[in-house]
């Protein structure tokens, strides 16, 4: 009889999920909660599976000691507390539970909105002290008010639905949300400045990324309608806490309801703590019996299927394909993600459709994992690190983006070629890539149908310009003046004196001053920088 598979449950998970695992005679399940880091490091070599929630830091040091570990299961949406790269390098599968807490987080967000409108927690606290103070807690109706929803993913869309039922007008900002999807949700698409000017309530439902950190800060609060109310049940850091406190003290913002914080728990000098206009909860978005039971059962089922059947479900770092196909598509997984990432930075944000063309040998196998990798790269700016090969299709569906795969065995100019086309109401943008000689030598060979040859790494600088003598030297001089080193260069043109495309691989990102100087040249039509 084979030895049992040891599973360590390191954080509280639904008893139903644990019971599901214990029912199988092949599993030995140990529940050891809230272990000190040193103790966890000491015992981890004994286990093949580690199940956690959000507190346990599954870092490179812990993974290095986990000599038998085959899988890490995160009972929740994100994997912020798991070093996915370190796990991947060790061949450890990382799984999560996408979608398990959507309703709970949505309901908490809307509850916070209602509590904020009617000052319910403040009135409750007053009553508990024996007071009967009706005048101090005059609230506002949400009926006929305007709600600005920033981020229309799973949770944002559910909040919008509930707001509409309550008779609210919903303005929605999501750079990737299609017009068709917006109509189906009965929301009005708007840019951020329009939401700031019109919204009575603003709720954020975006991941924390470089682009969204401090998204609502001092400059944004000044643009908002006086008396606006702010809700953040998404991620700490999206709202600048100090700037919010100042905006509330000045009367620009009437109040705020906050469930997430830059530092959790908030420090003693937290600027929002003493403001009576602020409602605070301790990161309770997913803290319902239903959500915890759902994610606990979901991760237990995923682990069971992996260990007993070899089926990979909800993995963030492994494609769900057989070994033979994986050998063929493996190089395209990372390359495709980079191509998608570049294209998203070159395209208009409100894309209606993405078309992926596969030509040559790659077209003869199951390309769905490559498509998912491409889309994951394409959607990183809107979905952040939470987007992965598992949840990317549901994210694109929520955004109303159509996906089309096309395959051709025609070799044309290259033995193999992958081309991605992003289609919006403003037109099309495309990028194509292949491998030169070996899977270790990827190349971008076409941008918007213009032939180029560029390496997909580091920082890409792209410039459309008039084909005239001296312009490349001019750019090189400006880059040098701003201490930006050019690693390689690719030039292409339609015809002599016509429009040319310049692609540079840079060692660092040019600052805004450098880019502004470049854009001043009347013969330069546009400049874009894509970070990999």
**Higher pLDDT pick, 217 / 98:** 217
Q: List Cβ neighbours of 71 (8 Å cut-off, separation of 6 or more).
A: 48, 49, 50, 92, 93, 94, 95, 303, 306, 307
Q: Are 148 and 171 in contact (CB under 8 A)?
A: yes
CA dist 156 → 133, 418, 470 (Å): 35, 33, 50
Q: List Cβ neighbours of 516 (8 Å cut-off, separation of 6 or more).
A: none
**Higher pLDDT pick, 203 / 346:** 203
SS3 377: helix
The residue assigned the tokens 């970070």 is 531
SS3 35: coil
HEC string of 231-291 equals: EECCCCCCECHHHHHHHHHHCCEEEEEECCCCCCCCCCCCCCCCCCCEEECCCCCCCCHHH
**What residue ranges define each of the domains in the chain, with the CATH number in brackets?**
5-98+290-309 (3.40.50.720), 102-280 (3.40.50.720), 319-455 (3.30.1330.90), 457-532 (3.30.70.260)
C-alpha 376/C-alpha 385 separation (Å) is: 9
Closest to 434 in 3D by CA, of 450, 461, 452: 452
Mean pLDDT in residue range 505-510: 89
Q: Helices 289-309 & 15-22, crossing angle to 10 degrees?
A: 20
The per-residue pLDDT for 100 is 76
Q: List Cβ neighbours of 39 (8 Å cut-off, separation of 6 or more).
A: none
The count of C-alpha atoms lying within 13 angstroms of the C-alpha of 91, restricted to the half-sphere facing its C-beta, is: 5
Share above pLDDT 70 across residues of the chain, in percent, rounded to a whole number: 96
Distance between alpha carbon 401 and the CA centroid of its chain, in Å? 16
Q: Provide the mean pLDDT of the chain.
A: 89
**Higher pLDDT pick, 8 / 363:** 8
Q: Is the Cα torsion angle 173, 177, 180, 186 positive or negative in sign?
A: negative
Q: What residues act catalytically?
A: 235, 264, 283
Q: Name the least confident of 46-60, 140-154, 499-513.
A: 499-513
In 10 A of CB 106, how many CB atoms? 22
The residue assigned the tokens 């998912």 is 372
For the stretch 348-367, pLDDT in tens is 778 899 999 999 888 888 88
Which of the listed ranges 96-100, 148-152, 460-464 does the model predict with the highest average pLDDT?
148-152
The per-residue pLDDT for 247 is 98
For the stretch 293-324, pLDDT in tens is 989 999 999 899 888 877 777 888 766 555 56
Does residue 411 have a pLDDT over 70? no
For the stretch 277-298, pLDDT in tens is 999 999 999 889 898 898 999 9
Mean pLDDT in residue range 511-526: 88
């Amino acid at each position: 009889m084979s030895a049992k598979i040891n599973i360590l449950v390191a954080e509280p998970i639904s008893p139903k999920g644990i019971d599901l695992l214990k029912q199988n005679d092949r599993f030995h399940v140990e529940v050891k909660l809230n272990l000190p880091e040193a103790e966890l490091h000491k015992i981890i070599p004994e286990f093949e599976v580690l199940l956690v929630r959000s507190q346990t830091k599954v870092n490179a040091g812990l993974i290095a000691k986990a000599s038998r570990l085959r899988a890490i299961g995160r009972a929740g949406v994100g994997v912020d507390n798991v070093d996915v790269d370190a796990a991947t390098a060790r061949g450890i599968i990382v799984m999560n539970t996408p979608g398990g807490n959507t309703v709970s987080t949505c309901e908490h967000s809307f509850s916070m909105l209602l509590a904020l409108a009617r000052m319910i927690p403040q009135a409750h606290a007053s009553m508990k002290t024996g007071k009967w103070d009706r005048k101090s807690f005059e609230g506002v109706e949400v009926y006929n008010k305007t709600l600005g929803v920033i981020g229309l993913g799973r949770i944002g869309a559910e909040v919008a639905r509930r707001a509409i039922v309550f008779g609210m007008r919903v303005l929605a900002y999501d750079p990737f949300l299609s017009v068709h999807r917006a109509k189906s949700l009965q929301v009005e698409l708007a840019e951020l400045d329009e939401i700031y000017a019109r919204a009575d309530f603003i709720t954020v439902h975006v991941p924390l990324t470089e682009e969204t950190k401090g998204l609502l800060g001092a400059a944004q609060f000044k643009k908002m309608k006086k008396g606006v109310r702010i809700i953040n049940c998404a991620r700490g850091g999206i709202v600048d806490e100090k700037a919010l406190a100042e905006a509330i003290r000045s009367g620009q913002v009437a109040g705020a309801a906050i469930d997430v914080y830059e530092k959790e728990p908030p420090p003693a000098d937290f600027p929002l703590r003493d403001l009576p206009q602020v409602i605070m909860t301790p990161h309770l978005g997913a803290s319902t019996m239903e959500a915890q039971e759902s994610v606990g059962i979901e991760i237990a089922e995923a682990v069971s299927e992996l260990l007993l059947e070899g089926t990979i479900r909800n993995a963030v770092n492994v494609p769900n394909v057989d070994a033979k196909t994986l050998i063929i598509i493996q190089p395209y997984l990372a390359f495709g993600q980079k191509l998608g990432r570049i294209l998203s930075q070159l395209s208009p944000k409100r894309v209606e459709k993405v078309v992926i063309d596969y030509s040559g040998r790659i077209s003869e196998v199951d390309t769905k994992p490559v498509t998912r990798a491409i889309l994951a790269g394409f959607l990183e700016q809107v979905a952040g690190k939470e987007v992965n090969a598992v949840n990317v299709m549901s994210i694109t569906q929520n955004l109303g983006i159509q996906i089309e795969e096309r395959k051709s065995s025609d070799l044309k100019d290259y033995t193999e070629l992958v081309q991605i086309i992003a289609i919006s109401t403003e037109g099309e943008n495309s990028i194509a890539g292949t491998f030169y000689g070996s899977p270790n030598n990827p190349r971008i060979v076409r941008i918007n149908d213009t032939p180029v040859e560029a390496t997909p790494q580091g920082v890409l600088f792209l410039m459309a310009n008039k084909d005239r003598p001296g312009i490349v030297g001019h750019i090189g001089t400006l880059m040098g003046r701003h201490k930006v080193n050019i690693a390689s260069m690719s030039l292409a043109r339609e015809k002599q004196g016509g429009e040319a495309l310049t692609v540079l691989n840079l060692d660092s990102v040019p600052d805004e001053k450098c880019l502004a100087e470049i854009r001043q040249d009347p013969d330069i039509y546009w400049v874009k920088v894509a970070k990999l």
